[in-house]
Structure 1
Amino acid sequence: MRHYITIVLVALLLLAAPVAAAESGYEVLYSQWTKDGTIVSANGCYVTPEITNGSNVHLCVKKPGGYAETNYSASVDGLIHYYDQLRIYVIDVDYAGGQVYLELSRPTSGGGSTSASTGTRVSCDTPGQSALGGDKVSFPIVIQNNDNDDRTYSLSAQNDYPELGWTTCFSYGDKTVYKVNVPGKQSKTISFDVQTTSSSTLGEKKLIAKVGDKSIDLYVDITSVNHTADLSAKYGSVVESIGNKIFYELRIKNMQPNENDYLLSVTGLPENWYAQFKEDKASTSEMAEVIVPAGSEKTIFLEIVPPYSVQPGEYNFTAVVSAPGKDTLTKDLTLKLKSSSDMVVSSGRLSYETKPGQPVEFDVYVSNTGKGAALTNVMIETQAPSGWYVTVTPEKANSIQAGGSQKFHVKIDPPGNIVASDYGVTLKVKSDQTAKSIDYRITVTTDSYIPYIGGAIVVIVLVSLFVVVKKFGRR
Structure 2
Amino acid sequence: MRRFFVVLLLFLLIVQTVSAQPYVTVFESRLAPGQMLKVENYTITIVQSINGSPYLMLKLGNDIVGLKPFSFGSLMEKDGIKILMGSYTEEGGFLVVSVKPRFLTSLKPEIGARASVDGAIIEVVGVDNHSMEVSINGTLKSVQTNKTLIFGKLVLEYNGTVLSIYAIPEVSEVKNPRYVVFCPYEDVVVSGPFDVPITVESLSEEELTLNLSVFLPPNWKAGFFYNGVEVSRISVPPKGTITLTLHVEPSSNGTLQFSVGDFLGRIHVRYRGIEVLIPYRGIEAEAGNVIQIPISFEGNGIVEFSTFNTTPGWDVYLKAGGYRVRTFEVDGSSTATLVVSIPRNATLGDHKIGLLINGKPYFLNIYIYKTYLGQPAKLVVVLRDENGNPVRGWVSIAGKNLTASPAGSVSFELKPGQYTLIAGCEGCSQKTEKLKLSDGEEKTLEITLQRADYYFKIELESDVVTLKPGTGGSTRITIQNLGSKEDKYTITVEGLPSGWNYLISQDPRGESPVESIKVGSGESTTLYLIIIPPFNVGSEELKVKVVVSGRTLRKTIPLTVRVENPATLTLNVDNPLLTVRAGETTATALWVDSDGPVTNVKFSVQAPNGWDVEVVPQMIPRVGPEMNGNVVVSQGPVRAEVRIRVPKSTPAGTYTVTITAAGDQAKTQTVITVRVTQGSSGAWVGIVLLIAAFGIVVWLMRRVGRR
TM-score, normalised relative to structure 1? 0.39
Question: Counting helix residues as a fraction of each chain, which structure ranks higher?
Answer: 1
Bigger CA radius of gyration: 2
